[in-house]
Amino acid sequence: MRSPCEDHAAEWWHANEERGADVIDLADALAAVARERFARRRQPRWVDPALATLTHDRFSDPGWIFEPKFDGERCLAFRSGDDVRLLTRNKKRVNDTYPELVDALAAQQAGDFVVDGEVVAFDRGVTSFARLQRRIQLGDPAAARASGVPVYFYVFDVVHADGYDTTGLMLRERKSLLRRLLSFADPLRYTTHRRADGENFWAQACRKGWEGVIAKRADAPYQHGRTSDWRKFKCENSQEFVIGGYTDPRGSRVGLGALLLGYHDAAGDLVYAGKVGAGFDERTLRRLGGELARLERPRSAFARGAPPRSGDVHWVEPRLVGEVSFTAWTADGELRHPRFRGLRRDKRPSAVVRE
C-alpha cells in the first residue's frame, strides 16, 4: 500500500495532468498514421534512450510540455509475448531487482511494446534515489519483494507498439498512444505533464522538494541520445561523478572517509572535482568501502587536479559512478558542500562529463 505522503505526491502530479486529451483507439491510431510516420518493424532488442540536456534557462512555451523530473533509475521495458525485459540505460537487466514491475508489465493486455520510464521509491512524499539504493543492490526477487521498499515505474514514452516503430510520431501523439497502450495501476504509473507553463511548474516542483522538471518539445520525434528537444530544469545542482579514490575512515567511522571524484573532459581525461564525505549511512560505508578496496591501483587515474597521494589516500580503478548533490562549483573547479546520494549503475564512467 502507498503511504499518505505518496498518495499526496501522486495527487499533486495527477492534478497537473493535461485535461481533455483525445481518447483514441489504439488500432485506429496505428492505422491513421502508419502511412506517414509509422514504420512497420519487428521489436528491437535494444534502443538508446533519449536524454535531456541541462539548462539554467527556465521557460514557458505553448510548444513544449513539462513533466516531473524523478530521482530514480531510468529503465526501458520490453514486452514481447510472454517475455518481459526491464533494462537500465546501460543495458543491465533488472527483472530480479524489480519483480513486481515485471509482473505488472506481463499482465498488460498489450503483448508487444517498448516503453520508457523511471523506477522510483518514495521517502516522505518525494522520490528518493537514496531509498531506491536499498532495492538497486538486491538481485534476488524474494529479497526484493521482502525489502520493505515499494517501487513504482513512471512511464513517460512509447517507442514501439503492436509491431510499429513509434519514434517518428510527435511527442504529444506518443503520449496519447501510451495512455491507450497500457493499463495504469500501481506499480505502473502514467507520467502526467503540464502544457506551456514551465516556469511556474518548476517553481512548484522545487517547493514540493522534487528533483525538478523535464521540458520536452511537443512536436518532436523520439530522438536517441542527448538532445536539445528534451531539457532538464533542476531544483539543485547534482550530477554523476567517477570515483577515482577514497580516504581512510577516522574515529568511529567505518569503511571509508571520503570519495575522490572526477569527470571526463573533452579529451577524455579524468579531471579531479573534489571529495565527498557526507551523505553516507553505515551500511553504505561498509559495502562501498569493501568494493573500492578490491579496485585499488598503485597510481592515480586522474589526469590533473588530484591532490598528491598521502598515507590515507587510496587510488582505485575508475569503474564506479556516484551521484552527488552540491551547492556550487568553486573557482578552483571543485565541488562546494557535496553530499553523496548513491551509486549509479545505469551510466558508464566514460560518459560522465561536467554538466
Q: Is the pTM of this model over 0.75?
A: no
Q: DSSP state, 82?
A: T
Measured in degrees and rounded to the nearest 5, phi and psi for residue 129 equal -65, -30
Q: Which of 50, 89, 2 is nearest to 228 (CA)?
A: 50
Q: DSSP state, 348?
A: -
From first to last of its 355 residues, the chain has per-residue pLDDT tens of 444 344 434 443 344 444 333 434 555 655 555 456 677 889 999 999 999 999 988 999 999 999 999 999 999 999 999 999 999 999 999 999 999 999 999 999 999 999 999 999 999 889 998 899 999 989 999 999 999 999 999 999 999 998 989 999 999 989 989 999 999 999 999 999 999 899 999 999 988 888 899 999 999 999 999 999 999 998 878 899 999 999 999 898 999 999 999 999 999 999 999 999 999 999 999 999 999 999 999 999 999 888 777 778 999 999 999 999 887 788 888 998 899 999 998 889 999 999 8
* Residue type at position 134: R
Domains and CATH numbers, the chain: 4-234 (3.30.470.30), 237-351 (2.40.50.140)
The residues that are catalytic are 69
User: Exposed (0-12), middle (13-18) or buried (19+): which is 168, by Cβ within 10 Å?
Assistant: middle
Q: Which of 206, 171, 195 is nearest to 61 (CA)?
A: 195
The three cell numbers of residue 55 are 539548462
Helix (H, G, I), strand (E, B) or coil at 176: helix
Q: Note whether 222 and 167 are within 8 A (CB).
A: yes
**pLDDT at residue number 347:** 87
Measured in degrees and rounded to the nearest 5, phi and psi for residue 101 equal -70, -40
